[in-house]
A and B are shown apart, each in its own frame.
Chain A
Amino acid sequence: MQIHASPVTSRVLSPELESARVQIQEWARQYGLDFYETIFEMLDYEEMNMVAAYGGFPNRYPHWKFGMEYERLTKSYAYGLHKIYEMVINNDPCYAYLLECNHFVDQKLVMAHVFGHCDFFKNNIWFSKTNRKMMDTMANHATKIRKTIDKYGLEAVEGFLDRCLSLEDLIDRHSPFIQRRSKPAPNEPEHRGVPKISSSEYMDEYINPPDVLAREKLKQEQERRRRKHFPEEPQRDIMLFLIENAPLEDWQRDILSMIRDEAYYFAPQAQTKIMNEGWATYWHAKIMTERALTDAEVIDFADHHSGTVAMHPGQINPYKLGFELWKDIEDRWNKGKFGKDYDDCEDWLTKRNWDRHAGLGREKIFETRRIHNDITFIDAFFTEEFCHEHKFFIYSYNAERGGYEVADRNWRSVKQKLLAGLTNFGQPAINVVDGNFENRGELLLEHKHEGADLRLDYARDTLENIFKLWTRPVHIKTVIEGKDKMLGYDGESHLERTATDA
């Protein structure tokens, strides 16, 4: 299907903007950015909100969640709470949307920003397995689901979609890169048989009596059958497990697969939020300040740029954190602030004034943008100096004072906390461990508890949704307030019990 000629009723760029685009693209390439062809479309704010509600794609399957997002965006735009300046889609060609009512200088900034993203999409390894024809794929999904609705009715399909979307995060984000399912090893116990005690031939019958051997064999057989797990190993990709094992109708299986594909497509964006936004911000700042700005635009640019990297109470701004880290990396590698000598140096002042004129900064940041994701990025480059320089801290809630306060400024704790927040991309890590739990065809999931409890009301609702797919009782092992618990739903009521070793 060829739909990407003009996805929305969009307008082409004005001649002025078009020449700015050509110019900025040229500069971006000169700096070494490498991207797919990037198509800019001009949208008014209403269209922008629509496209944004659809996650950037003009053609999505019908679902109320998009309508809800649209309402939210429209309202916060109307109340002046936020404005979407730009949107860019990881696709070949890349699509980027500009907001019609923006100033010329803002449009230039956004274009420079977009080329940063496009370079990142094309070159970061975590994006390497994403579908680059997603624009078409999304449209195909939409068509298929519409046809399904025509056949089975809106209510059935919508209800099923609700359930699928409730499981959207239950995928294995590393699986595109790892062969999870190995072929059965040739050396498994079942091939070994019952061990015999070595003996001379004439004594064999007495030392290894046949009836004992047969009994032993039977026992082993039973043991093996008892132990045989389904799945054999805990499986992170719960959506896949359900696709392969839940009693679904064909159309349901199709829909679940489509939702899973879309989830995998979006996953790397969550894995690289800090890097990607930081990278784009770094490049818009670079291109604008070194090349694209005219004297008259400086103030507007500064205003907009500082808005982008401003910190807001209660959350980390990925634009800011990423941007500063990229600058810091470039600076360190330019000055040779790395390696054994530097790490071993204990004098603060020497370290601070360290400059070996290594000049490797540019090279290093390009290498980094290729191989890292947010976790490894923070792990590798969030240093003590960086933490102090940028005044990071941990805050916590003080019940006595009834407010939040600074709890810790130690860089190791801050880093730990940052990384913890990114582990499994901020989602609870959940595996399916048994598809035949208690030998009754029930489903057992396990939450790998790493300090934070699940939100129970949501967990219960999610269990209900999984139950509707699995059709047999569903359980999840987790930890609630320090105690091992098992939550379950059997189609009628929710159970909560202290977990035993199942």
Chain B
Amino acid sequence: MVLNIEQDHLRFREIVRGRIKQDLKKYISNSEMIGKKGKDFVSIPIPQIELPTFRFGERQEGIGQGEGDLSGPGSAGNNPGAHILEVDLTMEELAQILGEELELPRIQPKGTDRVATERDKYSQVSRTGPESLRHFKRTYHQALRRQIASGTYNANDPTIVPVHDDKRFLSWKTKPRPESSALILYMMDVSGSMGDEQKEIVRTTSFWIDTWIRANYKGVQTRYIIHDAVAKEVDRETFFHTRESGGTVISSAYELCGRIIEEEYPEDQWNVYVFHFSDGDNWSGGDTDRCVDLLKNTILPRVNLFGYGQVDSTYGSGQFVRELESTVAEEDKLITSCIETKDDIFQTIKDFLGKGR
């Protein structure tokens, strides 16, 4: 008899998915979750998915046994109350939920006609093959099994002789390599006016962008540029934790970005996504003109999408987004979005990814 737990488990997962979808907006603006991201999955806390019953509220008392060393808060947990369930979701599942709930269109990658490369992987065992690939352990294991089964195995004289049928060989499987690849390039303003709260918003937004784009491409590279008055490329860790105090010269970042794309990511092979987050307080009008120029001539022609997210900060004038909108408005590869609070992240993601580019 087969147990039916798999069905029940699937049903449970379905319900969980439903719950996550329902509350997706809340999860999106919640950066805690990102901290729980493992390699291939995230763990999402879901409150109360259990069946309600009449039960007692939290009790502040209980019974213990021993010397009673309960010093320090939290050493005794007698709270059956808050039952938070942690559910693991794969990144694909999460992206799928995100896509469904935000009604994101699938991305149409460029360069699908590129030849996919193939790679052989020795990941299987087969009954036939060349002697050079004979799998000794499996072969003898098989022989031992046969001998025990047929009763010819003698524990006092454990000689094992493989016959032809016992032989096992390594075998390979051909795996196609990803056919289209994407680059996500993040730029962030780290000038003095960008505080921790703003960075948190950027971090959360970039997590969801990553999740979605990664689900749409097989090979995704991510690169990070920070800038104040000058721009430099950094690793992920630095990107989210640097704070400079200088002024803001956005064109420095656009220049570096343009150079990276131009030199390293040929247009016909890469889908390039660039996102820039800033509080919109550029150094001078002259520099903004230069930015517009760089965008129009160098960056936009080479990318699928350029997203500009303007994070609200107490110091920034927020002028930059208006300049962009008025001068580059006709370009549909440019999407701008204003993020005032964490709750706007949901809308920003929809803005950025809603076009299916």
Proximity bits, B7-18, A CB within 8 Å = 1, else 0: 111111111000
Q: B155: which A residues are within 8 A, CB to CB?
A: none
Chain B minimum-CB-distance residue to A58: B3
B 62-77 binary contact with A (CB < 8 Å = 1; else 0): 1111111011111111
Q: Determine chain A's interface SS by DSSP, over half rule.
A: mixed
A62 touches B11 (CB 8 A): yes
Which residues of chain A from 166 to 225 have a CB within 8 Å of any chain B CB?
166-170
B12: which A residues are within 8 A, CB to CB?
A: 64-65, 67-68, 70-71
Interface assignment of A392: CB less than 8 Å from any CB of chain B: yes
Task: Tell whether, in the assembled complex, residue B54 and residue A165 are in contact, meaning their CB atoms are under 8 Å apart.
Answer: no
Q: How far is the CA of A6 from the CA of B3 in the complex (A)?
A: 12
Contact of B130 with A by CB under 8 A: no
Question: Does A54 sit within 8 A of B, measured CB to CB?
Answer: yes
**B39 contacts chain A at the CB level, 8 A cutoff:** no
Residue of B nearest to A407 (CB): B61
Residue in A9, A53, A428, A461 whose beta carbon sits within 8 Å of that of B56 in the complex: A428
Taking A314-B62, A458-B52 as contacts, is the C-beta distance between A405 and B70 under 8 angstroms? yes
Q: CA–CA, A311 to B63, complex, Å? A: 11
> Residues of A contacting B11 with CB < 8 Å?
62-64, 67, 158
Whether the pair A394, B62 counts as a contact (CB closer than 8 A) is: yes
Q: Are A404 and B63 in contact (CB under 8 A)?
A: no
Of all chain B residues, which has the CB nearest A428? B54
- Asked whether, in the complex, the Cβ of A455 is within 8 Å of the Cβ of B65, the reply is no
Q: How far is the CB of B68 from chain A (nearest CB, A)?
A: 4
User: Is B8 a contact of A67 with CB atoms below 8 Å?
Assistant: yes
0 or 1 for each of B31-57: is its CB under 8 Å from A? (1 = yes): 000000000000000001111111111
Q: Report the nearest A residue to B58, measured CB to CB.
A: A455
Does chain A have a CB within 8 A of B123?
no
A462 nearest CB neighbor, chain B only: B52
Asked whether any CB of chain A lies closer than 8 Å to the CB of B60, the reply is yes
Give the A interface residue count (CB, 8 A).
77
Known: A454-B56, A458-B53. A395 touches B61 (CB 8 A): yes
Q: Is A166 a contact partner of B52 (Cβ separation < 8 A)?
A: yes
State whether A314 and B78 are in contact (beta carbons under 8 Å apart), knowing that A50-B3, A65-B51, A456-B57 are contacts in the complex.
Answer: yes
CA of A437 to CA of B37, assembled, Å: 53
Is B149 at the interface (CB under 8 A from chain A)? no
Contact between A170 and B54, CB atoms less than 8 A apart: yes
* Contact pick for A414, options B10, B63, B70, CB 8 Å: B63
Q: Are A395 and B53 in contact (CB under 8 A)?
A: no
A47, A64, A316, A459: the one within 8 Å of B15 (CB): A64
- For the complex, give the distance between the alpha carbons of A120 and B48 in Å: 35
Of A54, A166, A392, A417, which one neighbours B65 at CB under 8 angstroms? Answer: A392
Closest 5 CB pairs of A and B: A67-B12, A461-B52, A67-B8, A67-B9, A406-B68
Given contacts A313-B64, A314-B77, 18 further A-B contacts (CB under 8 A): A50-B3, A65-B12, A66-B5, A67-B8, A67-B13, A70-B12, A166-B52, A313-B70, A313-B75, A316-B64, A395-B63, A405-B68, A407-B61, A418-B63, A447-B54, A454-B55, A455-B55, A455-B58
Query: Which of B's residues lie within 8 Å of A, judged by CB?
Result: 1-5, 7-15, 48-68, 70-78, 81, 85, 87-88
